[in-house]
Amino acid sequence: MDSLDLQVLAQARDWVKAGHPAWLVTVGQTWGSAPRPPGSLLCVRDDGQVVGSVSGGCVEDDLIDRVRKGEHVKVPTRVTYGISQEEAARFGLPCGGTLLLVQEPLVDITWIDELLERTARHELIARRVDLASGAVSLAAAQRGQSFSLDEGVMHQIFGPRWRMLVIGAGQLSRVLAQMALALDFEVIVCDPREEYHLSWDIPGTTFTRDMPDDAVLALQLDAHSAVVAVTHDPKLDDMVLMEALRSACFYVGALGSRGNTAKRKERLKLFDLSDAQLDRLHGPIGLDIGSRTPAEIAVSILAEIIAVKNGVALRQKKPALDDPANAQVCATLDAAG
């Protein structure tokens, strides 16, 4: 589930509350290459305004044209694009792809309010749509469930926004936060040091001066959360890593060379962390792309986080040897603050 789809639902709700008829369009199934995966959402308003996406643009144009011409479906309806090579080319579908869409009228929108409230509480929600009647129901979902569509029922999974807790507010953190925001992460930056708090000015982020381990406990980290420790200060990093490695968060990483990472793991063993918990620590943090500058290192960190989030094997980790290049990177960041 893309958190952008939650924005589609919020806008759709607001349009209907303002008196505009609107239709929700869901990618139900794809064959061949397709721009958007099953479950992706689009909302079309009666005057042709749209939010969201189900293709590269041409399919949206056709849906808008249908609505403007008065083709207003009353119950969930299947619409297929790209059946022939000619039609696939017309609608901009790559490699002869085919899209099956489900278009449904938004009449009772109370489920949208409930869904947004529950995902804001970091709940994972399953939406069930009866395709014959249009009836919608919500229920708690489990991780591993995914979108499905059969002859009579459509199931969609909605979850909370992915979030990232960054420990330390130095130069690397500034670049990392800006890039993470562009990737639609909710970004929380934690640094109790006064001099870093006063200079933090990245809009769209949340800053806390709590001690890092207290921040972890307050956030109640879940499987949609990542923790990145980049202070180089064991007094700050070690305590947050201890709590994060015991949590359900999907990613825990800490800046430092392999030698420093080994020493960090020895310290963390003193807090009764298991070998399995310690193995969850990504260090040296990031993929090996020859990073030297803070911006390049931020790219390598985010690439690793995205790979872990998407279940992709980490084939490009940093060299096993604690070499001078890794030491130079850490020294550069230390000097940059």
pLDDT the model gives residue 89? 56
In the block, tokens 């589930």 appear at 1
pLDDT value at 333 more than 60: no
Looking at per-residue confidence, does 24 or 231 come out higher?
24
pLDDT confidence band for 326 (50 / 70 / 90): very low
Report pLDDT digits (tens) over 260-291. 888 999 998 888 888 999 999 998 899 998 88
Summarize the confidence of residues 26-46 as an average pLDDT: 86
pLDDT the model gives residue 120? 87
Domain ranges of the chain: 4-158, 163-336
Alpha-carbon distance values, 62 to 49, 65, 72, 92, 118 (Å): 13, 5, 13, 12, 34
Torsion of CA 302, 307, 310, 313, to 10 degrees: -170
pLDDT value at 143 more than 80: no
Burial of 234 (0-12, 13-18, 19+ CB in 10 A): middle
Percent of all residues in the chain with a pLDDT value above 70, rounded to a whole number:
87
pLDDT value at 136 more than 90: yes
**What is the 3 state secondary structure string of the chain?**
CCCHHHHHHHHHHHHHHCCCCEEEEEEEEEECCCCCCCCCEEEEECCCCEEECCCCCHHHHHHHHHHHCCCCCCCCEEEEECCCHHHHHHCCCHHHCEEEEEEEECCCCHHHHHHHHHHHCCCCEEEEEECCCCCEEEEECCECECCEECCCEEEEEECCCCEEEEECCCHHHHHHHHHHHHCCCEEEEECCCHHHHHHCCCCCCEEECCCHHHHHHHHCCCCCEEEEECCCCHHHHHHHHHHHHHCCCCEEEECCCHHHHHHHHHHHHCCCCCHHHHHCEECCCCECCCCCCHHHHHHHHHHHHHHHHCCCCCCCECCCCCCHHHHHHHHHHHHHC
Q: Could you give the 3-state DSSP secondary structure of residue 149?
A: strand
pLDDT confidence band for 161 (50 / 70 / 90): confident
Report pLDDT digits (tens) over 72-112. 999 999 998 875 555 555 555 555 568 899 999 999 999 99
Looking at domain 163-336, which CATH architecture does it have?
A: 3-Layer(aba) Sandwich (3.40)
